[in-house]
Copies of this chain bind each other. A is one copy, B any other.
Amino acid sequence: MMNFEEFEEKTISRKEIFKGHIIDVVLDEVRLPNGETSTRELVFHPGAVAVIPVTADNKLIMVKQFRKPMEKVLLEIPAGKIDPGEQDHPKETAERELEEETGYRANKFTFVTSMYVSPGFADELLHIYYAEELEKIPNPRPQDDDEILELYTLTLDEAKAEIASGLICDAKTIFAVQYWELQQLKRLLKEDNR
């Protein structure tokens, strides 16, 4: 088993390319463990949260929205980036995003996992939560000014059909549908073994 030092790429120099509202971009020159040099194009991102909100009648609440990088409308689970100062409280961000994007509050909010979405070039860490025992909020916080969203509720079969159709096509949502299916199968297997 190799040590950390046998993997580590040491930064020789860093060039700041872009400081944006959401991402920062830098270009690093690095020294590889074998002594060679290389460059690394890196994107720094404040992180994000996503919620898998499942209703009492076992439907997944999702939002349709336009995504500029692909110039396409995607059907996704509710999600949003972490604002400055929220880094240590991703659960609160997730609860806020669920309220803003769907108008629901969850009485049961369970951490699922955290994942780096594209570790080759970006440090974005996405925290995912499972939300149950939902209730409609009478006067929910409004959506962000620059977000146009449309709400949907889907059964597992409908969600799987939309993955096949390509309308559901992002990593967190495909993961979420699979996670949801896995929970249901585990429950079935438990009942079978009784």
Q: Which residues of A approach B to under 8 Å, CB–CB?
A: 1-2, 4, 6-9, 17-18, 20-23, 25, 27-28, 30, 32-34, 36, 38-45, 48, 64-70, 73-74, 76, 79, 81, 113-124, 126, 145-146, 148, 150, 163, 169-172, 174-175, 178-179, 181-182, 185-186, 188-189, 192
Contacts and interface: CB of A to CB of B under 8 A. Distances in A.
A45 B65 CA distance: 21
A20 B28 CA distance: 12
A101 to B, nearest CB: 13
Contacts of A18: 17-18, 25, 27, 41
B119 A118 contact: no
Given A48-B120, A175-B175, 11 more contacts: A17-B17, A17-B25, A21-B41, A22-B120, A23-B41, A23-B43, A42-B69, A43-B43, A70-B123, A116-B169, A189-B192
Contacts of A186: 185
A25 B28 CA distance: 16
Contacts of A8: 66
Given A36-B145, A146-B36, A116 B170 contact: yes
Contact of A9 (B4, B27, B66, B121): B66
A175 B192 CA distance: 26
A173 to B, nearest CB: 8
B1 A150 contact: yes
A178 B45 CA distance: 26
Given A34-B148, A69-B123, A120-B81, A115 B170 contact: yes
Contacts of A163: 113
A151 to B, nearest CB: 11
Contact of A121 (B22, B148, B169, B170): B22
